[in-house]
Structure 1
Amino acid sequence: MARADVAPLTTMVAAPLFGGATAGGPTPASSSGSLFAGNGTGFFAPLPPRARAEPAVPRALGSQGVAPDNPVAQLLSLIARVEAGREGYDAVQHGARIRPPAPPTQMTLGEIYTWIAETPGQPHAIGRYQFIPPTLRRVAGLRGYGPETRFTPAVQDSLALILLEDAGLRTFEAGTMPRTRFMRNLARIWAGLPLPNGQSFYEGYAGNRAAMSWAEFSGGMAQIWPAG
């Protein structure tokens, strides 16, 4: 699950990496994987205020206008493989006893917040990137998405891009951050990704574990960025 309620690992300003006019592109096929247990709450202090990006809504990755072989789209698919599995953008943390009243992509952020408030004491990680409540509210606020915003694939991708930037995406792509450091940073955000020792950064916390080996993670990154 995405635990980006930890302090940002870089200080860059969030901005969309993909342009586009609509949030209703078709949902790309998701890879198989597993969801992780968790209580849906953060255990770090709230983040300090951060400059807000313009609330532009990109197309869903892989839809018209955005090549599915774009490196960032491939990285998000790698993350989704260990976080959301076959459910993709409609994934809900498997430990949630009371599920949302509709598939997440058909709900607004306000409806998701209501579901969270009305079902305390259970995990609430949601969507392709398994946003937990504090993270979801933070990144939605940075994008300027209000409660009326529908949790579409494009919106989820847009929110996940902020987390990639927190991990140092732009610094990594500029060649000034080693691949292994970027991978460690990603593992601090998504519990399904491993550290070099093969364990999750949140190993054992509320049942979290890594869903791939470090070798698999490293190999996947090398395929996406051969010269990284």
Structure 2
Amino acid sequence: MVRIWLVSIMVCSAQAASAELSSLFPRATAAPEIATRASLFASDPQIGFFAPRPEPSLEVAPKVGTGSDPVDHLLSLIARAEAGSAGYDAVQHGARVKPAHRPTDMTLGEIYQWIADTPGQPHAIGRYQFIPSTLRRVADVRGFGPETPFTAGVQDALALVLLEDAGLSRFQAGELSRRRFMHNLAQIWAGLPLPNGRSYYEGHAGNSATMTWATFDGGMARIWGG
């Protein structure tokens, strides 16, 4: 009887871990909660100004950021500004020493090792251009260890943490205006513009907006219905 009980616990634990890893978008019945709001550039020379908030339960349904859900389209809009055509395999162009493999063929541990082995250069990586400190933080929020493959689905799951940092749940609940949400997104991703067309981090470490305000504003209006 003891052996059967232990096996049952192990099976249930494995199923729960699998569900966590394969999920991305919040269920409609989930109560909106707010994550720790820390800029993509926190602990970096490019400093953001978000204050800490309680972390949410990021329970999500299986999807990758290429579907028809509004959040899928938002992820694609951000990726357009951050990664361009390189998508999930993007590496910051200023990195003199690139990873030995495509990012999607690496584990988080291999990416951490590449970062450690190549000091003094930019290390933004993936579709959402995670910098080292942010990558470690959002991976920790998700519970992704060094053995986790840096797949498209994993990158999207990590980006969802940053969307919550910007106030996604509050925006969807009507508690945050679209313009304020866009401003928060621009504080996280340097490629997104402010209404004046400039990056929130304009001039810091060579950053500038990579899309116009009209494109950003128009894209958000199409995604969220005007």
TM-score > 0.5, shorter chain as reference:
yes
Match of 1:82 in 2: 81
Specify whether residues 71 and 49 from structure 1 end up closer, same or farther in structure 2 by C-alpha distance, changes over 3 A only: closer
CA offset at residue 175 of structure 1? 1.3
Higher relative contact order (CA 8 A, sep 6+): 1
CA offsets, 1:5-29, max 9 Å, x none? xxxxxxxxxx94258xxxxxxxxxx
CA offsets, 1:132-157, max 9 Å, x none? 00000000000000000000000000
Q: Is the 8 A contact 1:105 1:150 kept in 2?
A: yes
Match of 1:129 in 2: 128
Residues 46-195 of structure 1 correspond to what in structure 2 (within 5 A)? 51=55, 53=57, 58-62=62-66, 68-195=67-194
Q: Is the 8 A contact 1:194 1:210 kept in 2?
A: yes
Match of 2:25 in 1: 17
CA offset at residue 113 of structure 1? 0.2
What's the secondary structure of 1:177's corresponding residue? Answer: coil
CA offsets, 1:65-85, max 9 Å, x none? xxx121000000000001001
What's the secondary structure of 1:199's corresponding residue? Answer: coil
Tell me the TM-score normalised to structure 2 length: 0.76
Match of 1:26 in 2: none
- In 2, the alpha carbon distance for the partners of 1:178 and 1:55 equals 24
Instruction: Supply the AA of the counterpart residue of 2:44.
Output: T
- In 2, the alpha carbon distance for the partners of 1:102 and 1:47 equals 36
Question: Do structure 1's residue 41 and structure 2's residue 44 form an aligned pair?
Answer: yes
CA offsets, 1:43-65, max 9 Å, x none? 54998695474687944233xxx
Q: Could you say what the CA RMSD is over the residues aligned between the two structures, in angstroms?
A: 2.5
- In 2, the alpha carbon distance for the partners of 1:179 and 1:110 equals 36
What's the secondary structure of 1:223's corresponding residue? Answer: helix
What's the secondary structure of 1:139's corresponding residue? Answer: helix
Structure whose alpha-carbon radius of gyration is higher: 2
Consecutive unaligned residues of structure 1, counting only runs of 5 or more, are: 1-14, 20-37, 63-67
- In 2, the alpha carbon distance for the partners of 1:223 and 1:55 equals 26
CA offset at residue 191 of structure 1? 0.3
Specify whether residues 195 and 49 from structure 1 end up closer, same or farther in structure 2 by C-alpha distance, changes over 3 A only: closer
- Between 94-103 and 40-49, the greater mean CA deviation after superposition: 40-49
Q: Is the 8 A contact 1:57 1:158 kept in 2?
A: no
CA offset at residue 123 of structure 1? 0.2
- In 1, the alpha carbon distance for the partners of 2:68 and 2:117 equals 40
TM superposition outliers: structure 1 runs of 4+ over 2 Å: 40-62
Instruction: Supply the AA of the counterpart residue of 1:151.
Output: F
Residue identity over aligned pairs, in percent, reads 62
- In 2, the alpha carbon distance for the partners of 1:190 and 1:136 equals 13
